[in-house]
Amino acid sequence: MTRPDRRETSQIRALHCALGQLNRADGSAQFSAGNTSVICGIYGPVDVKLYDEKLDRAHIEVKFRPDIGVPMTKDKWNESAIRSTFEREIIGQMHPRTLVQINIQVRQNDGSVDAAAINATTLALVDAGIPLRSMVAAATCAVCANGNIVIDPTQEEISKAQSTHTFGFSNQQTDSPAYVDSRGDFTMDQYNSCYDMCATATERIFAFMRSAIESKVSKESLNEA
Amino acid sequence: MVAEIEPSNIEKSFLLESLQKGIRVDGRGIYDYRTLKIICGPEVGLVEVQLGQTRVLARVSCEVTRPFPDRPTEGIVQFNAELSSLCAPGFDSTGKPSAQEVAITRMLERVIRQSRAVDTEALCILAGEKVWTVRIDVHFLDHGGNLVDAASIAAIAALRHFRRPDVTVDGEEAIIHDVRERNPVPLSIHHTPICVSFGFFGDGGMVVLDPNLLEEQTQASSFTITLNSHQEICAMNKAGGIPLDSKQIHRCIQIALAKVDEINEKIKEAL
C-alpha cells in the first residue's frame, strides 16, 4: 500500500514553523505540516469585557477562522474544543480579571488542520509569554477504507477515510490525552492503534517545538548581549 | 476588549513637526512606499503581501454553481473581507462592523468586483445551468496602517496566480477535468486595479504616500486612488476629512501613476 504522496504509514509531513512574525500581536506562531498551514496570534493579558470578567482567573477566548469563507458551525466547535483544552494548560490565576485572546487563522487546509491549530496555539502562547502548566501537541490519524492506519493524513486521504482521530497530549502528562476528537465508525482496536501512533508522533512534534523555541530564545539572547 | 488606543498628543505633535521639515517618523521620504513583499503559493491563488508591518493574505477559490436567473451567461465573483481580531486588538468580527471596517471592505469590493476586473462571461460553463463562482477571501493578519493598498495588491495578485480546473463542454454535458488529468487554466482578467493611498495633514498642505499606522491615526484626511496598468482611473475615494485643493488631487494622481507601474512590476516578478 502506498500513500498518494509516497509517505510511510507512520511518517508525518515536513514540519515548519516561524515564531513572532506578527507585530501587533503579543505573541504569534505559524505552524505548517506539508501544505497545511495555520497562523495563530495571541493578545494577552489584556482588558476584558465586563460580562466576561472572572474574579479569580483570566478569561480565555478563541477565534477560529477558516481559509475559505466565513466561520461556520464546525469552526465554532473547533473554538470551544481548543478553548477547553487550553483552559487547563494556561495558569489563568496569575492574571485575574484579564483576557487572553487566541486568534487562529487557517492559511491553507490540506487535512489535519485541527492538530496544526493546536500546535500553532501552543507555540504562540509560549511566544507571548503566557504562563503555561505544560505544552500541548496534537496529531491526526486516519483509518483508510482497507483498514490501514495512516498518520497526518492529507485532505485527499481524509475524504476517503473510514474514520479520523485527533489526539493532543500534554508534555507533562503523557499517559492520558488532553484532546480527543474521533469521527466516523471504528473498532476499539483501531482506536487504540491510532492512540499509540498519535502519541509517538506528538513526541516528534514536541522535539520540533523545543528546537524552534530554543533557536528563537538563543537568537534573542545573542541580540541582547 | 478596548478598541484601538489613540496615539498620545505628544506623538501626534512630534509627527506633525517632523513632517513640516519633510521628515517622516519611520525615516521614509514623503513619497516613498514601504518595502513591498509578495509571496505566492504554495497553492494556486494563495498570496501573502507584506507592506512594511502590514500583512494581508488573499485566498482565491472556485466552485461550480447555478448562475443568477437574470444573468444566465455570467459567472459569479464573491468577495469576503473582514477585519478579524487577529490583525489588531479590539477588532471584533462577531458584532456590528465598525465604520472603518465598512469603509475598507466597500472600497475593496468596488476595486475588485465593480471595476469588472474579472471576466465573468469567461466563467460560464453552460448558460443558465452551470457557472464558476470565484471566491476571494482577504484575511488581514497584521495592521500596520494602509490595509486597503495591501489588500488590493494581495487580491489582484491572488486572482492572477489562481488556476481553475479545465472544462470541456460537449453539447449538454460538461466535463470538469481533474488538475492531474489536464493542466488548470488561469482566469481571464481584464485589468489589474491597484489602490494607492495618501494621507493629508494640517490644513491639507502636507501629504504623504502610504501612511503607516501612526500617520493613519493622525491624518486630517485620506485619499485613495485606484489605477490599472493602462493608466486608467478605476475608483477614487475621499471619505470625509478636511477639504482638499483640487491641484493636490492632480499631483497625487501623477505620483500614483508612477507607483502603480512599480507595483505592477513587483507583482509580475512575484508571479
User: Is residue B114 situated within a structural domain?
Assistant: yes
Chain A, chain B: beta-carbon pairs less than 8 Å apart: 72
Residues B3-24: tens digit of each pLDDT: 667 888 998 889 888 888 888 8
Q: Look at B85 and A103 and tell me if their CB atoms are within 8 Å.
A: yes
- The alpha-carbon gap from B24 to the nearest alpha carbon of chain A, in Å, equals 20
Better-predicted residue by pLDDT, B177 or A127:
A127
Orientation of helix A113-128 relative to helix A188-224, angle to 10°: 30
Task: Collect all residues of chain A within an 8 Å Cβ-Cβ radius of residue B144.
Answer: 23-24
In this prediction, residues A195-208 reach a mean pLDDT of 92
Q: Does B144 touch chain A (CB under 8 A)?
A: yes
- The alpha-carbon gap from A48 to the nearest alpha carbon of chain B, in Å, equals 5
- The alpha-carbon gap from B45 to the nearest alpha carbon of chain A, in Å, equals 11
Task: Collect all residues of chain B within an 8 Å Cβ-Cβ radius of residue A71.
Answer: 93
Residue B2 confidence (pLDDT) above 60: no
In this prediction, residues B35-39 reach a mean pLDDT of 91
Q: Compare CB distances from A105 to B89, B135, B139 and report the shortest one's residue.
A: B139
Q: Compare CB distances from B59 to A22, A47, A68 and report the shortest one's residue.
A: A68
Task: With cut-offs at 50, 70 and 90, classify the pLDDT of residue A32.
Answer: very high
Domain count for chain B: 1
pLDDT at A179: 92
Q: Does B42 touch chain A (CB under 8 A)?
A: yes
Q: Does B46 touch chain A (CB under 8 A)?
A: yes
Lowest mean pLDDT among A68-82, A209-223, B125-139, B239-253: B239-253
CA distance A77 to A67: 16
Number of alpha helices (DSSP H) and beta strands (DSSP E) in chain A: 4, 9
In this prediction, residues B114-130 reach a mean pLDDT of 86
Q: Look at A68 and B143 and tell me if their CB atoms are within 8 Å.
A: no
pLDDT at A117: 95
User: Is residue B221 situated within a structural domain?
Assistant: yes
Q: Does B84 touch chain A (CB under 8 A)?
A: yes
Phi, psi for B241 (deg, rounded to 5): 80, -170
Strands (E), chain A: 15-19, 27-33, 36-46, 59-65, 99-108, 136-143, 149-151, 163-170, 179-184
Q: What is the value of ipTM here, to two decimals? A: 0.88
In this prediction, residues B200-205 reach a mean pLDDT of 83
pLDDT at A51: 87
CA distance B92 to B86: 9
User: Is residue B35 situated within a structural domain?
Assistant: yes
Q: Give the residue on B whose Cα is nearest the Cα of A100.
A: B1
User: Is residue B16 situated within a structural domain?
Assistant: no
Q: Look at B1 and A70 and tell me if their CB atoms are within 8 Å.
A: no
Residue B97 confidence (pLDDT) above 80: no
Q: What DSSP element (H or E) covers A76? A: helix A73-89
CA distance A63 to B199: 32
pLDDT at A166: 94
In this prediction, residues A58-63 reach a mean pLDDT of 92
Interface test with B, best of A23, A40, A49, A61 (most B CBs within 10 A): A23
In this prediction, residues B227-246 reach a mean pLDDT of 84
- The alpha-carbon gap from B60 to the nearest alpha carbon of chain A, in Å, equals 8
Nearest one of A39, A158, A68 to B162, comparing CA atoms: A68
Domain extent at residue B204: 26-270
Residue A49 confidence (pLDDT) above 60: yes
Tracing cell 534573542 back to the chain, one arrives at A220
Residue B30 confidence (pLDDT) above 90: no
**Chain A residues 104-143 within an 8 A CB cutoff of chain B:** 105, 107-108
Question: In chain A, pLDDT over 90 holds for what percent of residues?
Answer: 71
User: Is residue B21 situated within a structural domain?
Assistant: no
Q: Compare CB distances from B143 to A24, A65, A99 and report the shortest one's residue.
A: A24
User: Is residue B139 situated within a structural domain?
Assistant: yes
Residue B72 confidence (pLDDT) above 70: yes
Q: Give the residue on A whose Cα is nearest the Cα of B92.
A: A63
Q: Give the residue on B whose Cα is nearest the Cα of A109.
A: B43
Q: Look at A67 and B135 and tell me if their CB atoms are within 8 Å.
A: no
* DSSP structural state of residue A218: H
CA dist A85 to A89, A202, B109, Å? 7, 16, 38
List the CATH number of the domain containing B110.
3.30.230.70
pLDDT at A125: 94
Q: Which domains does chain A have, with CATH numbers?
A: 15-224 (3.30.230.70)
* DSSP structural state of residue A93: G
> Beta-carbon neighbour count of residue A182 at 10 Å?
17
Residue B92 confidence (pLDDT) above 60: yes
Q: Look at B1 and A24 and tell me if their CB atoms are within 8 Å.
A: no
Task: With cut-offs at 50, 70 and 90, classify the pLDDT of residue B99.
Answer: confident
- For B51, residues 6+ apart whose C-beta sits below 8 A from its C-beta are B33, B34, B35, B36, B37, B144, B146, B149, B150, B153, B210
pLDDT at A119: 95
pLDDT at B41: 75
pLDDT at B46: 92
Residues A68-119: tens digit of each pLDDT: 888 889 999 999 999 999 999 999 999 999 999 999 999 999 989 999 999 9
Residue B90 confidence (pLDDT) above 80: no
Q: Look at A43 and B42 and tell me if their CB atoms are within 8 Å.
A: no
User: Is residue B163 situated within a structural domain?
Assistant: yes
3-class state of residue A29 by DSSP: strand
Residue B1 confidence (pLDDT) above 60: no
Q: Compare CB distances from B84 to A48, A99, A105 and report the shortest one's residue.
A: A105
Residues A142-175: tens digit of each pLDDT: 999 888 899 999 998 999 999 999 999 998 887 8
- The alpha-carbon gap from B83 to the nearest alpha carbon of chain A, in Å, equals 11
pLDDT at A16: 93
CA distance B22 to A212: 43
Task: Collect all residues of chain A within an 8 Å Cβ-Cβ radius of residue B45.
Answer: none
Interface test with B, best of A107, A109, A121, A159 (most B CBs within 10 A): A107
